[in-house]
Amino acid sequence: MRCPIPAASFVVALVPALAHADTLQVGAGKPYATIAEGVAAAASGDTIEIDAGEYVDDIVSIDSKDLTLRGVGDARAHLVATGLIGNGKGIIVIGGTSNIVVEHLEFSGAVVGDENGAGIRMQGASLVVDDCHFHDNQNGILAGGDAPYTIEISHSEFDHNGNPGSGQEHNVYVSGDATSFTFQGNYTHHSYSGHTFKSRAQVNYVLYNRIMDEADGTGSYLIDLPQGGLSYVIGNLIEKGPAAENTGTVINYKGEGQTNDQLRLFVVNNTIVNDNGSTPAFVRIYAADEVVLRNNLFVGQGTPIVLEPGAAPTVVDEGNLQTDMPGLVDQVGYDYHLVDGSPAIDAGVAAGADGDYDLTPTMHYVHPAGLEPRPVVDAMDVGAYEFGMGPPAGETGGDTSGGEGSGDSGDSATADDSASAGDGGSDSTITAGSAASVGDESSGGSAGAGEDDGGGCGCRSAPRGTAAVWWIGLAAVLVRRRRTAA
C-alpha cells in the first residue's frame, strides 16, 4: 500500500519511551474505571487498553505524552458526551508535544459553547487514528493550533457531525498548521451543513475514501482545500446528494484563507457522482499553479473543472469521462463498481507521476471503511474501480436513506458563506465570469480555523487487517478472467 509519510518516523519518535512502556487497562473491574484515570496514570510510551462499553462524560486531556489509546473487544469503546463540555474543546483534547495513536474507539455528543466541540481536538505533535467512528458531534475531528503537526486517519467513519443550518462545523477539519494530512480508506458522509472533508494542510493525501452526502445529507463541499497546498485526490468515491445545501461545487480548491506554499492539485481516478439535479463545478479552482485531472469518471450534470477569474493554472485534462450512463453496479445504492460494457472500461490513460510520487491508484475502497488492491488488467479503467473486482460477498452500498443523528448539535450559527446554485456547462473546462462564483458553499471558513495544533508522523504501511486483504486481492487478480475483446 502506498504510504506517503514514512512509516518508521512515528515509531522512531517513541523508541526512548517504549523501552519502559506499560499497558494500562480501563473498564469495569479493571485497574482504571475511566479513560481519564488511565491517561493520568500513564507515562509517555504507554498503551491504554479500553474495554468495550459506554464511557459517559469521560473527558480526557493529554499534554505532552506519547500514548496509544486502543479499544479492545469486538465492539468499540464509546465515549459519550451528554452536555456542554467544560474544557470548551472536545472529548479528547491533545496538547503540547504529544504523539497519539487512537484505535477502535467511538465518539459522540461533543458540544461546546463556541460550536467547535470535537470528538478529538488535536493540538499536539502528531495524531494517528485508525478504525474509529465519530458521529453526532459538532466536529468529528478538529485539528489546529500554533505549531506544525501531522495527522493520519484511516479506516474510520464520520457522519452526522455539524450543526444543521450553520455550516460552521464539519465531519473532519484540519488547520493550516498541518504539514501533512493523510486521509485513507475512510467513510465520511451525512455532514450537517458543513463540509464532509476540509483541510488547510500544506500537503494532503486524500486516497481511496467514500465521501458522500447520500440521500439526505445536507453538507456543503465534499472536499474543501481552502488554502490549496500540494494535494493528491486519488481513487475516491464522491457523491453530491439531492439534499445538499451547497449545489455549486463538489471539490473546492483555494477558495479562501491564507495561501499554502504550493498550489498544485492532482485529481486522479475518482468516481464523482452528482445526484443533486443541479449543474455544479465538479472541481472549482480559485487559484493554482498546476491542476491535473486524469481518469476521473464524472456522472451527471455539471462541469468537470471551472476556473474562477484570476485562476490561470497549467491544466492537464485527459482520460476523463462524463456521462449519464456510466455502467455502475448500483448507482442508487452507491455501489460504483463497473459492469461489463461500461464506457469507463479501458478508457483511461497512464496515471503518471508527480516527481517521485506515483499517481497510479493501487487500491479500491471496500465498504465500510476498508481497502483492497486494485488489479492491473489491460488499459487503465476510468474512475475509482477497475472492472472485474466486484464487492466482496455481503457488501452493500450502504444506507440510502441516511437517517438522523441523535447527538446534540449545539446552538445555531450563521455560515460564513451562503449556499446557492452553481453554474456549469457542457465543456470540460470553463473559465468563470463573475456569475460563476455564485454557488459556493456554506463554508464556515473560520470554523475552528487556526485554533489548535499538533505535529509528528505516523503513517503505517499496514493498517488493521491490511495483510489479509492483500493476499485475498492477489488471489483474485491471479484467477481473474481477462476481458474478452469487444
The domain that holds 443 is classified in CATH as 2.160.20
- pTM, two decimals, is 0.82
What's the mean per-residue pLDDT of the chain?
83
Whether pLDDT at 322 is above 60: yes
CA angle 256, 258, 263 (to 5 degrees): 85
Domain count, the chain: 1
% of the chain at pLDDT higher than 90:
73
Query: How far is residue 397's CA from residue 95's CA, in Å, rounded to a whole number?
Result: 38
Query: How far is residue 199's CA from residue 352's CA, in Å, rounded to a whole number?
Result: 25
Give me the pLDDT at residue 4, please: 42
pLDDT digits (tens, 9 = 90+) for 48-74: 999 999 999 999 999 999 999 999 999
Give me the pLDDT at residue 165, please: 64
Whether pLDDT at 287 is above 60: yes
Does residue 486 form part of some domain?
no
Whether pLDDT at 27 is above 50: yes
- For 344-438, strand residue ranges (E) read 353-354, 357-358, 363-366, 370-373, 429-431
Query: How far is residue 251's CA from residue 314's CA, in Å, rounded to a whole number?
Result: 18
Buried b (16+ CB within 10 A) or exposed e, 50-77: bbeeebeebbbebeebbbbbbbbeeebb
Give me the pLDDT at residue 325, please: 98
Give me the pLDDT at residue 431, please: 67
Whether pLDDT at 299 is above 60: yes
pLDDT digits (tens, 9 = 90+) for 202-244: 999 999 999 999 999 999 999 999 999 999 999 999 999 999 9
What does residue 285 show for φ and ψ, rounded to 5 degrees? Answer: -115, 125
Mean pLDDT computed over 162-191: 90
Give me the pLDDT at residue 1, please: 37
Give me the pLDDT at residue 360, please: 98
Whether pLDDT at 256 is above 60: yes
Does residue 125 form part of some domain?
yes
Give me the pLDDT at residue 206, please: 98
| Structure confidence at residue 98 as a pLDDT band (50, 70, 90) | very high
Give me the pLDDT at residue 197, please: 98
| Structure confidence at residue 338 as a pLDDT band (50, 70, 90) | very high
Instruction: Please tell me which residue, 118 or 439, carries the higher pLDDT value.
Output: 118
Mean pLDDT computed over 421-427: 35
Does residue 50 form part of some domain?
yes
Instruction: Please tell me which residue, 395 or 144, carries the higher pLDDT value.
Output: 144
Whether pLDDT at 130 is above 50: yes
100: CB partners within 8 A, 6+ apart: 62, 66, 67, 68, 69, 94, 124, 126, 127, 128
- Asked if 214 and 191 count as a contact pair (C-beta separation under 8 A), the reply is no
Give me the pLDDT at residue 145, please: 82
Does residue 381 form part of some domain?
yes
Look up the domain containing 471 and give its range.
Answer: 8-479
Query: How far is residue 307's CA from residue 262's CA, in Å, rounded to a whole number?
Result: 17
Give me the pLDDT at residue 432, please: 59
Give me the pLDDT at residue 169, please: 82
Report in angstroms the alpha-carbon separations of 326 from 124, 241, 296, 375, 385. Answer: 44, 17, 12, 20, 12
Query: How far is residue 430's CA from residue 307's CA, in Å, rounded to a whole number?
Result: 6
For 317, the grid coordinates are 485534462
Does residue 233 form part of some domain?
yes
Among the ranges given (186-190, 336-340, 420-424), the one the predictor scored with the smallest mean pLDDT: 420-424
Whether pLDDT at 87 is above 60: yes
| Structure confidence at residue 201 as a pLDDT band (50, 70, 90) | very high
Longest dimension (CA), the chain: 66
Whether pLDDT at 434 is above 90: no
- Asked if 107 and 140 count as a contact pair (C-beta separation under 8 A), the reply is yes
Give me the pLDDT at residue 163, please: 79
| Structure confidence at residue 397 as a pLDDT band (50, 70, 90) | low
Does residue 485 form part of some domain?
no
pLDDT digits (tens, 9 = 90+) for 437-472: 333 333 333 333 333 333 322 233 333 333 333 333
Does residue 452 form part of some domain?
yes
Mean pLDDT computed over 273-288: 97
Q: Residue 378 — left, alpha, or beta (φ > 0 → left; ψ -120 to 50 → alpha)?
A: left
The one-letter code for the residue type at 80 is: V
2 in helix, strand or coil?
A: coil
Helix, strand, coil percentages in the chain from 3-state DSSP, rounded to 5: 5, 35, 55
Does residue 484 form part of some domain?
no
Strand 328-330 relative to strand 335-338: parallel, antiparallel, unpaired? antiparallel
- The residue assigned the cell 457522482 is 273
